[in-house]
Amino acid sequence: MIQVLDKRFRKLFSENEIQERIAKMAAEIKADLGDKSPLFIAVLNGAFIFAADLMRAMDFPCEITFVKQSSYQGMDSSGKITQLIGLDRDIKDRHVVIIEDIVDSGLTMYHLRDQLLQQNPASLRIACCTFKPDALKCPLKLDYVGFEVSKLFLVGYGLDYDGYGRQYKDIYVLAE
């Protein structure tokens, strides 16, 4: 058990399980894109640890860059109020893989995917460390999924509770 701010969390996936899953995911990505010099786009802040481990499991030519979704005034049809910032690379005709820590309602990823597709990449895939299928609120195809989890709140391995708890090597779930 760990304590993050006012809440207690218990271990759900160990560092070993996570690293084993990442090795398999890297092999899947290599089979699909190993000869295509893919560009990974990691979504800050949460994906920084997962992205670092996934990138280090790649033994073929690839690049990485980082983006952030920042809030702005206004709303689009999905109800999201975000804007993509930090994309410093031309993704036209590139094979792109978005790296995300967690897909919950899916709205963040749906919106990001839409924004990136407007720039005409050769292909666009999504890799996420954790996915809550029962929480999904939009049609979203995830190409590489680390762990499927139920609608519970997770911390660790980049995931935070109010900004805290990102540094743990394992993934923890809220203890009821």
Binding site for ligand IMP (CB under 6 A): 46, 102-109, 153-154, 159-160
Residue 5 or 122 with smaller CB distance to ligand IMP: 5
Helix pair angle (48-56, 15-33), 10° resolution: 60
How far does the chain reach from its first CA to its final CA, in angstroms?
A: 12
Residue (90 or 148) nearer to Mg ion, CB: 148
Total residues belonging to the chain: 176
Residue 165 within binding range of Mg ion, rule CB under 5 A: no
Find where tokens 């702005």 sit: 72
Nearer to Mg ion, 122 or 138 (CB): 138
8 Å CB contact between 48 and 158: yes
Residue tagged active-site, from 32, 35, 104, 114: 104
Tokens of 162: 């109010």
Q: How far is the CB of 52 from ligand IMP (least distance, A)?
A: 17
Residue 153 touches which member of ligand IMP, Mg ion, none, C-beta under 5-8 Å by kind: ligand IMP
90 catalytic? Reply is: no
| Residues in region 30-49 near Mg ion by CB under 5 A | 46
Binding partner of residue 159 among Mg ion, ligand IMP, none, CB cut-off 5 to 8 Å per kind? ligand IMP
Q: Does 106 bind Mg ion (CB under 5 A)?
A: no
Q: Based on CB atoms, which residue is closest to Mg ion, 60 or 72?
A: 72
Tell me the two tokens of residue 115. Answer: 């924004």
Give the DSSP H/E element, type plus range, for residue 123.
strand 123-131
**Of the candidates 129, 155, 153, 151, which has an alpha carbon nearest to the alpha carbon of residue 142?**
129
Contact at 8 Å (CB) between 131 and 170?
Answer: no
Binding site for Mg ion (CB under 5 A): 46
Catalytic residue list = 104
